[in-house]
Structure formats: structure tokens, C-alpha cells
Structure 1
Amino acid sequence: MQSEEFADVLAGNDDYASRFGLAGLEPVAAAGLAVVTCMDSRIEPLAMLGLKPGDAKIMRNAGARVTTDVLRTLALATHLLGVTRVMVVAHTKCKMASATTDEVVAAIEQSSGIDVRSLDFQLIADQRATLAEDVQKIRSWPFLPAGVPVGGFLYDVDTGKLTRLA
């Protein structure tokens, strides 16, 4: 049963499935890479790194934050899925790095009437410092193999360029 709310994306999936070519792709990261980045739709993780499907494990969330779930996923990726290096990629013009908690709460409450004051949105007051802290969380996570290279990068949404910051 196809609902109207999802008709466009299901039609897109029909087209995708008709030319699907990833059957048999191994579940390991062929380039040995994991990328933690923001959910911002201006970021195309594989394309921005010159990679193709199967090369990397991609984890996305608001603000490219290294959360407990990201750390758990990296433990699995490094021990079971061929990941040997990790990039944390923040980006310019990120809403999580430019809004205050009060602004986010007010916007959500105004649009929905839902009280979200109990949620921690992990907003970013200083993007460079937060990126360095998140990279350090990965480097010091005891459940990863020793010596896994971890880098922190900033992606410019206006130029497509990456700059290493940590």
C-alpha cells in the first residue's frame, strides 16, 4: 500500500531499484574509513571525499556530535567492519553552532506546541573547541583499537573544501 505522504520517495525508490547495482557489495569499509558528520543535506559525504558506496561507514546527526551511540557504532565498525581511521566532519553555517538553546526550544514549541526543554540538543558554542573535544572522545574511547587515526575537519558548505582542525 502506497500512501500519498511518501508517494514521491517510493516512486524514486522504484526507479533506483530498477537500476540497482550494489548487490553483493561487502559490508566492510573498503577504504577503511568512518565519517561522523552532520545531517545537513548540503553535505554529500561520499562525493566530498571522492569515495563510492562501500568505501566508508557514515554516521550522521545534528551537529556531527560524537555521542555515546556514535562511539558504540565506531567500536563495531573498527572491530567488525574494516574501519581503520575516523574523520569527524563539522561544517560551516551549522544551525547547531549558531542557535541558542532558548532559540531552538522556542522554535520547536512555536511550531508544534511541544515542550522540549528536557532535551539536550548538544548545541555548539565554540565549533573548533567542540570538534577538538569530540575528536578526543574518540581517541580516548577504550573500546577502539589502539592508535586508530582520528581527525577533525571543517567542511565549507559554500566551497566544498575540507580543512583539518584537529
Structure 2
Amino acid sequence: MTTNAFDDVIGANAEYARDFALAGLRPAAARGLGLVTCMDSRIDPLAALGLEVGDAKILRNPGGRVTDDVLTALVLSAYLLEVGRVLVMPHTKCKMASVSGDDEVHELIRREHGVDTRSMEFHTDDDQMGALRHDLERVRHHPLLPKDLPVAGALYDVDTGRVELVDA
């Protein structure tokens, strides 16, 4: 029997689909939340915030940064998917906040893997709270987002599971 790198997840999906109960779920954010957070696998955003499938639009990327793509998704979410509030939630011990900048990441990848990534922007910043404040301002002042959209920042602690509101 041939195996491939995805047999485990495709097999798990077969089990999941056997009792699938989410058919007919509306595509809107039932609790009106747009969440921007990191792609870090230590974060379970639904459980951490007491949410269920369908409650929020969750946007994940390295560092939980508000990039141009995130802003595009937030505009679509605000007008088409019933998002009425946005929480930007980076986390403690984030690799993207532990380096001095993109140059350091490019050099690390080049040195360890021989790949030149300088054509990419990773949005690293070792001033995590400064980066969060910057990202919140990008959302709050985006000309296409509703002027009265509630926007807050929080920090998720990967060691305790606690979320601390840091800018509301």
C-alpha cells in the first residue's frame, strides 16, 4: 500500500465527515467578530475566546500582523460577512517578534536552508506592542472600513491561555 504525506489528515477528515453537522451554517460571522491572529499552532482561537464554528472570521498569518491582505479581508468581512468588530491578537513567544527585522529572517533562512527570500516581506518587528499599536491604527483609519467599527488589541499568552486586552 502506498502512503503519502497527507494520509493522516485525509483519514481524519473521513472520520470528521461521517458525523458532519455543520451543513447549512451561514457564511456570516454569527457573533460579529473579525479576529486577526498568528498562524502559530499553539493558538486555538475558537476555544481561547469562547467561540464556536461560524462565530467569527479568523485571519491568521505570521505574527498576526495587519497586512494589506488582512485589510482586504476585513473590508469584505465588514460589508459582506457581518463583522461588526475587530480584535487583533498577537501572542507571547512569537518568532516573528523575536527577531530584529526581516533582514535577520532572510539571513537565517539563507544560512540554514540556502534559500534567498529577500523578495518577500515578513513584517517582523521585535517591538511587539509597537507593532500592535501600528496595526490597530491601520484598521481604525482605513478609509474603506466603517468609521464606527470597534477595534481592539489583545495579547494571547501561549503559556497560560489567557488573553489580555491591551488597547480597546
Deviations 1:37-80 (A, max 9, x none): 00000101111000100000000000000011100100010001
Q: What residue is the counterpart of 1:131 in the other structure? A: 132
**In structure 2, distance between residues paired with 1:46 and 1:158:** 17
Report the AA paired with residue 113 of structure 2: S
**In structure 2, distance between residues paired with 1:74 and 1:103:** 30
Runs (5+) with no aligned partner, structure 1 = none
Q: What residue is the counterpart of 2:118 in the other structure? A: 117
CA RMSD of aligned residues (A): 1.4
* Correspondences of 1:6-85 after superposition (within 5 Å): 6-85=6-85
Q: Which has the higher mean CA deviation after the structures are superposed, 110-119 or 63-72?
A: 110-119
Report the AA paired with residue 94 of structure 1: C
Runs (5+) with no aligned partner, structure 2 = none
**In structure 1, distance between residues paired with 2:103 and 2:42:** 25
Report the AA paired with residue 165 of structure 1: V
Percent identity, aligned pairs only? Answer: 53
**In structure 2, distance between residues paired with 1:73 and 1:86:** 11
Report the alpha carbon displacement of residue 120 of structure 1 after superposing the two structures with TM: 1.7
How many residue pairs align between the two structures?
165
Q: What residue is the counterpart of 1:86 in the other structure? A: 86
TM-score (norm 2): 0.93
TM-score (norm 1): 0.94
Report the alpha carbon displacement of residue 145 of structure 1 after superposing the two structures with TM: 1.3
3-state SS of 2:6 partner: helix
**In structure 2, distance between residues paired with 1:96 and 1:59:** 16
3-state SS of 1:82 partner: coil
Report the alpha carbon displacement of residue 103 of structure 1 after superposing the two structures with TM: 3.8
**In structure 2, distance between residues paired with 1:110 and 1:116:** 11
